[in-house]
Amino acid sequence: MDNSCEDTRFALWEKGLFSYKKVSYPVRYGWFHEIVTRRFTCQFNLNGEPRFFKLNSNDWPHPAEWLGRTLGNDWLYHATLGYSDTFSLTGEYYYPFLPYPSNNIFPGSPLGLPVVRDGIRMAGNVYSVAASLLGQGLVYGDAERAAMARMARWSPGRLRKRSQELRAILKATVPVLPPDTRHVAYDVIPVMVMEGCLFNCGFCQVKSGADFRVRTRHEIEEQLYRLRDFFGEDLLNYCSLFLGQHDGLAAGVETLCLTVDAAWHILDMKRSPFPRLNIFVFASARSFLSCSPGDFDRLNGLGCQVYINIGLESFDQPTLDYLKKPMGACEARDAFSRMIEVNRGYSNIEISGNVLIGPSLPDSHMDALEETVCDLLPSYYPKGGLYISPVQGETRKRWVIEGLHRLKNLRRIDSFLYLIRRL
């Protein structure tokens, strides 16, 4: 439905794509609403919250670049940076500039530009444009007025409270998402199945520090009922779950399967117009190695695509010691070897691994990485991948890109940059 008045046009229940694709232009997924004025274009989710925004003026950095708002109420800037370079770096056709400290490798950010800061200010005020359209009687039809009223209620204060409400439901923050969630444009429903992690490594900036604990079935189901109410109408736009927090696999395959089954019913995910359900979970080398073939059979038979991301960090003992990661290099190597086996053997499971990069790490780190990859993968294998995560505070762009290219040039496994991105 498309309506216009003077210089403002709005369209309700616009249809985006219902399968995720890697394309070199901005695409939207699921259903969304849109308001376009001479000054800006804003797209809203089905709850009426602003999701994407850009100014239509000539001083906006690039017509294909947008601000995107997350569930945590952060506005990110999606930059193209010359599409092919961005793809080679991240596996995606855009680079997200984040408004909080992370391991970004580019000095400066478009978020500092006056025009982008104006855009963020204006995006916070877009609810008043929706209210004005309603107030002037320019929206016809009950369903249309109800949709516009939803857009008109999200003042900046209410949006802030909403992200706090989500944290209260999860009883946790999500300081980092698995890198593979890029395959679904980071559109995941977070469900916390456990707390803490097995290692509490010295170098890690995202750990909660909480004691390791698996949440009970009752806690998980209660969380799902509250998430159902929280996502409301916009549930229809989701087909993916992130089963957190830092080592979801350590909660046990039984807990993961129970959670997926409960989510399927409580969140009524069969209504999703997307073709399949995706599950994302972090693992440690230890929780991954403790899974039996029967566990992988169960995950493979869940009827969804399961993505497991393992924090390997390094195959070099001096580096693991330097990082204060209480794990042996042989454990990391065994987990990588198993990762290759599982990727080959299970069509509905895809495993990726994370390794660190940084100029302060021992020289032996990169050598061990190259040696292990070449030893265990005699030729290129297209499934899974290795993500290179710059150590926070050690994000020298040239250094990181050269390290990534060393790995890519082995031509054994897909390798991309991993940016620490929160929910």
Residue whose CB is nearest to ligand SF4 in the complex, by number: 204
Cα–Cα distance, 356 to 393 (Å, whole number): 12
In the complex, what is the shortest distance from the CB of residue 288 to ligand SF4, in angstroms, rounded to a whole number?
12
Cα–Cα distance, 308 to 341 (Å, whole number): 14
Neighbours of 222 (CB within 10 A): 14
Pick the closer one to ligand SF4 by CB: 67 or 335. 335
**Would you count residue 102 as binding ligand SF4 (CB under 6 A)?**
no
Pick the closer one to ligand SF4 by CB: 255 or 284. 284
Among 246, 333, 412, 421, binds ligand SF4 (CB under 6 A): 246
**Would you count residue 204 as binding ligand SF4 (CB under 6 A)?**
yes
Among 111, 113, 149, 201, binds ligand SF4 (CB under 6 A): 201
Cα–Cα distance, 127 to 129 (Å, whole number): 5
Under a CB-based contact definition with an 8 Å cutoff, are residues 269 and 239 in contact? yes
Pick the closer one to ligand SF4 by CB: 323 or 417. 323
The values of phi and psi at residue 4, to 5°, are -145, 155
In the complex, what is the shortest distance from the CB of residue 364 to ligand SF4, in angstroms, rounded to a whole number?
20
Under a CB-based contact definition with an 8 Å cutoff, are residues 101 and 393 in contact? no
Cα–Cα distance, 296 to 171 (Å, whole number): 29
Stretch that binds ligand SF4, among 123-131, 194-202, 357-365, 382-390 (CB under 6 A): 194-202
Neighbours of 367 (CB within 10 A): 12
In the complex, what is the shortest distance from the CB of residue 188 to ligand SF4, in angstroms, rounded to a whole number?
18
Task: Note the Cα 188 to chain centre separation in Å.
Answer: 7
Size of the site for ligand SF4 (CB under 6 A): 10
Longest Cα–Cα distance of the chain, Å, equals 69
**Would you count residue 401 as binding ligand SF4 (CB under 6 A)?**
no
**Would you count residue 197 as binding ligand SF4 (CB under 6 A)?**
yes
In the complex, what is the shortest distance from the CB of residue 255 to ligand SF4, in angstroms, rounded to a whole number?
18
**Would you count residue 105 as binding ligand SF4 (CB under 6 A)?**
no
Under a CB-based contact definition with an 8 Å cutoff, are residues 237 and 222 in contact? no
Pick the closer one to ligand SF4 by CB: 234 or 316. 316
What secondary structure letter does DSSP report for 395? -
User: On the CB side of 350, how many CA atoms lie within 13 Å of its CA?
Assistant: 18
Footprint (CB under 6 A) of ligand SF4, residues 266-285: 284
What secondary structure letter does DSSP report for 290? T
Pick the closer one to ligand SF4 by CB: 120 or 201. 201
**Would you count residue 417 as binding ligand SF4 (CB under 6 A)?**
no
Among 9, 39, 153, 207, binds ligand SF4 (CB under 6 A): 207
**Would you count residue 200 as binding ligand SF4 (CB under 6 A)?**
yes
Under a CB-based contact definition with an 8 Å cutoff, are residues 64 and 26 in contact? yes
**392 preceded by a cis bond (ω within 30 of 0):** no
In the complex, what is the shortest distance from the CB of residue 212 to ligand SF4, in angstroms, rounded to a whole number?
9
Q: Which amino acid is at 353?
A: G
Residues that bind ligand SF4 in the complex, under the rule CB under 6 A: 197, 199-201, 204, 206-207, 246, 284, 311
